[in-house]
Structure 1
Amino acid sequence: MSIPALFVDDDRAFSTIATVALQREGFALTLARSLHEARAALAQATPALVVLDRRLPDGDGLSFLGELKAQAPGAAVVMVTAHGDIASAVDAVRAGAADYVTKPVELSDLVLRARRAVDTGRLKDRLEAAEAELSGRRRLVPPASAAMQRVFSMLERIAASPRSPVLLLGETGVGKEQLARHLHALSSRDGGAPFIHINCAALPEQTVESELFGHEKGAFTDARAARRGLVEVAHGGTLFLDEVGELPLALQAKLLTFLDSGRFRRLGGTTEQTSSARIVAATNRDLPTQLREGTFREDLWFRLGVFRIDVPPLRERREDIPSLAEGLLTELSRELGRRDMTLGTRARARLAQYAFPGNVRELRNILERALVLEPGPELELEVLGGGPAALAPPSAEAGATDAFRVEQPLPMEDLERAYVRWVLEKLGGRRMEAAKALGLSYPTFLKRLE
């Protein structure tokens, strides 16, 4: 794939020769003979590389550098300066240039520095993507249940359509993020495309637009420099919007525009940007109810629902529990340094009986606590949360006062809130521990608690 580049120089002979050399290296060049032409080119497209001369007919390239970086913060800039003008070169690097060359320019040196500048920028993008993946990749266990096999089959078909949005619906902890990662892996041919995960519920309403779509310098009080948003960073890959039902209505409209056209504007910006990121959204909320209440846009619901996947809870696919438990135990044993751990007969019987209100996330938490608290090498899941009663299914017997019970059918949202309060009570009001036990981020836990 060619790399978009802008070459700004009024020396026709040099720019013609340099253009040929850079095109041979895979750059798609746009030529500009002045700052005026450079501004016009930037309004049309955002380059990955800019080769910028210092001396131009209508101004100083060094003075233009700040404007350039504000409009195209992700572009790698190679500055061309006069021979021996080291002070200008240093100023250019301080102003945001990735590198510089001095005239007379050796074409091989220019090509080397251009390629290195672009590669460094790509490395930074990958590091940003890696930071967004600190939660770590989980090994996906092939499902045994017919319900999850249908989900996997649908994801394989969707992978052939790289930009179509996907909406994953299901209870907390059913594995929506892992399914989004699986779809990303199926869609990414070279394995280098970014996967960006953002929890919309954990973002303050004042910053969520900037996080998603970026901002220009001066867009708000603390915007001292232009910044790319996650939609831009996820270009060519997947942007996973967890808890999409928490997005403010105004931002839902902007997301809808991006889904329709692939175009967006940074906060405070006037130039349209583009991104080919696939949006995968997920929620455990009842979006049809939010539609009726006016807190979620109907047009966004229809647009996201082009491919809507309902992920069944773990209690409805009990065939998957043994293989999931084995896979998670192997992974956690490696992480915690406790190899060759196995599940005992009593542990398997308990897992077969348990209702798993927290789904796969709760299963993982159960195994992690057992690995820390039980001596092994065969886990029985007895010391978890105060003993076997913590894993026993709710009972109507008189002695089962410690179990979580409901006396009548409740809406899922009310049930979740009641369970959160019960866990909090059992842990003596320690909120951080309760959030960890439930497998929730602390902001999401507080929302459940309200």
Structure 2
Amino acid sequence: MEDIAAAPAKARLPEGDRSLLLVDDDRPFLQRMSRALESRGFAVATAESVAEGLAAMRTSAPAYAVVDLRLGDGNGLEIVERLQRAREDARVVVLTGYGNIATAVSAVKLGAIDYLAKPADADEVIAALLRDPGDRAEPPENPMSADRVRWEHIQRVYEMCDRNVSETARRLSMHRRTLQRILAKRAPR
């Protein structure tokens, strides 16, 4: 992975509030991304958990946020939801190493403007944060594999069942323990 602090900014920041909340439980990634975003003109506040992220928003809701989906103490979508309630014009990008369609849809429904898979560099994050609402992201170069499509389907049903493993297993006609093993793994390529 290239050094995210070294890449030049390709998009100009709009004038006005440049406050940004960066929430990720991977400390080295958090520090590198924070430095990279600060060097591009953002006023960055960092948090390593859902609780810290929510606490950082109590004083003032930021104009931008970059939030990891899976955090040690919960789901980053809690932060997205609270931020959208506190500040409707906030622009939020969700990052995750466990990307799937169901959680991407949930993130967008809660107010996120984009959903990026890790490792994402600062230029990708800034492009997503500053993209005009009418612009669409480029389609992926490689289509999903059959294993990935199966995994996506399981994730979609899991989200439809409100993350209830037993109900999801019943609907998929799958043993609950098998489903738990699948859910604990990263998405196939």
Instruction: Give the direction of change, closer, same or farther, for the CA distance of 1:22–1:106 in structure 2 (3 Å limit).
Output: same
Report the CA distance between 1:108 and its aligned residue.
2.1
- Correspondence list, 1:353-364, <5 A: none
The separation in 2 between residues aligned to 1:62 and 1:74, in whole angstroms, is: 17
Report the CA distance between 1:83 and its aligned residue.
4.5
- The alignment covers a number of residue pairs equal to 118
Report the CA distance between 1:107 and its aligned residue.
2.9
The answer as to whether partners of 2:66 and 2:93 remain within 8 angstroms in 1 is yes
Bigger radius of gyration among the two: 1
The separation in 2 between residues aligned to 1:67 and 1:111, in whole angstroms, is: 22
Match of 1:98 in 2: 113
Match of 1:19 in 2: 34
- Correspondence list, 1:179-190, <5 A: none
Opposite residue 115 of structure 1, the aligned amino acid is L
**TM-score using structure 1 length:** 0.25
The answer as to whether partners of 1:2 and 1:26 remain within 8 angstroms in 2 is no
The answer as to whether partners of 2:69 and 2:77 remain within 8 angstroms in 1 is yes
The separation in 1 between residues aligned to 2:53 and 2:99, in whole angstroms, is: 26
Instruction: Give the direction of change, closer, same or farther, for the CA distance of 1:11–1:44 in structure 2 (3 Å limit).
Output: same
The separation in 1 between residues aligned to 2:121 and 2:128, in whole angstroms, is: 11
Match of 1:87 in 2: 102
- Correspondence list, 1:375-386, <5 A: none
The separation in 1 between residues aligned to 2:80 and 2:37, in whole angstroms, is: 21
Q: 1:68 aligns with which of 70, 73, 83?
A: 83
Opposite residue 30 of structure 2, the aligned amino acid is S
The answer as to whether partners of 1:81 and 1:88 remain within 8 angstroms in 2 is no
Q: 1:112 aligns with which of 124, 127, 134?
A: 127
**TM-score using structure 2 length:** 0.57
The separation in 2 between residues aligned to 1:36 and 1:84, in whole angstroms, is: 22
Alignment of 1:39 with 2:54, yes or no, is yes
The answer as to whether partners of 2:93 and 2:113 remain within 8 angstroms in 1 is yes
The separation in 1 between residues aligned to 2:130 and 2:111, in whole angstroms, is: 17
- Unpaired runs of at least 5, structure 1: 121-450
Higher relative contact order at CA 8 Å, sep ≥6: structure 1 or structure 2? 2
Match of 2:66 in 1: 51
Deviating above 3 A after TM superposition, structure 1's stretches of 4 or more consecutive aligned residues are none
Q: What is the percentage of aligned positions where both structures have the same residue?
A: 40
Instruction: Give CA deviations for 1:114-173 in whole Å, capped at 9, x if unaligned.
Output: 232xx65xxxxxxxxxxxxxxxxxxxxxxxxxxxxxxxxxxxxxxxxxxxxxxxxxxxxx
- Unpaired runs of at least 5, structure 2: 1-15, 134-189
Opposite residue 45 of structure 1, the aligned amino acid is S
Q: 1:30 aligns with which of 16, 25, 45?
A: 45
